[in-house]
Amino acid sequence: MTEKADRKIVLADGSQYPGQGFGDRSERVCEIVFNTSMAGYQEILSDPSYTCQLVVMTYPLIGNYGMAADDYETAVPTIGGLAVRRYNDRPSNFRCADTLGAVMERYGIPGVQGIDTRKLTRSIRDHGSRKALVTDVDTPLDRALEILESTDVPRDVVRRVSCKAPWTSPAVGKARFHVVAVDCGIKLNIVRSLNARGCDVTVLPYDAGAEQVQALGPDGVFLSNGPGDPEDVPSVLELVRAIRGKIPIFGICLGHQLISLAYGARTYKLKFGHRGGNHPVRDLDTGRIEITSQNHSYAVDAASLAGTGLALTHVNLLDGTVEGVKCERDRVFSVQYHPESAPGPQDSGALFDRFLTMMEEAREHA
């Protein structure tokens, strides 16, 4: 027997997707997006890049392995909401410490299950990411549309998710390098990946200035992933312009876009973004094709790279978008995708090793 609907998702075109609520019962306006990953809902839920976004999971069964204490990407999830075909509230997993629904309730994250996620995903693909309302099923449509029209999705999302004070994470074993990571919404597995390769990591807030960074004497600077439009984070652009050529820089996702903007390139918003664990990317230097994990709404305009000093290094084979750039002169490089993805493809983990090599070369030529 089909459960009675008590919650729904409403889009600005008047379409409604009724289902059953789980997690928190709050009413919320978000940007609606979809993710095609078959696993990793805990990492998706806790990825700061999803701040204020309602994520539709295309894999039909979500929640079946629960939530593990060691797998969070941030301590306090800030995702806008979750929409799934079928939610399992009785997980089976020896690592399970809690249910997905209980965690969502704890952090005020609404969820809706039982909806036609295929139809909803097709709508996003056809019409693009846009505002959506999560509300009670009894909310009149005209009232729901009024709420959507009058409520904006916040733009100060990097400020919301960045750390408020510096913090450190030591290398595993003997430290080889000291990396300053600029936190625009950093995933914890990035810090773990650097620690595992012998890097002490100092994480600074997104608005850290060049003097603060240089005073720490880092071997390299890492620019993190994060939510929103890269043009909303001008402080990081100023930082890159001030330290490029002085300290090696590596950027991932939002960090990649910020490096490109700092060098004079342009960014634009994709129709529905890239979110999933199977995006093929070609490395133009080697010809090698990597299967990558991605989560972003914005991309770098390839034509705008001309004359910036940045060279195109990686291309998405699905739509030809820019996936990586570099400036060998300044020892700067970045990628749009996530080499630290967990769970996810491990094809690109060597990019962290490349960063270490760059820092070693800079040390030798100092």
Which entry of 253, 256, 274, 279 is annotated as an active-site residue? 253
Q: Which residues are within 8 A (CB) of 365 and not within 5 positions of it... i.e. 6 or more apart?
A: none
Active site residue 184: no
**Backbone region of residue 304 per phi and psi (left: phi > 0; alpha: psi in -120 to 50; beta: other values):** alpha
Residue 365 C-beta-side C-alpha neighbours within 13 Å? 13
Active site residue 340: yes
Helix (H, G, I), strand (E, B) or coil at 125: helix
Query: Going by DSSP bridges, is the β-strand pair 322-327/86-87 parallel, antiparallel, or unpaired?
Result: unpaired
**Backbone region of residue 362 per phi and psi (left: phi > 0; alpha: psi in -120 to 50; beta: other values):** alpha
Active site residue 279: no
Residue 223 C-beta-side C-alpha neighbours within 13 Å? 35
Polymer length of the chain: 366
Q: Which residues of 118-133 are buried (b: 16+ CB within 10 A; e: fewer)?
A: eebbebbeeeebbbbb
CA triplet 76, 233, 253: central angle to 5 degrees?
A: 65
Provide the token pair at 185.
């919404």
Which entry of 31, 73, 323, 340 is annotated as an active-site residue? 340
**Catalytic sites, residue numbers:** 253, 338, 340
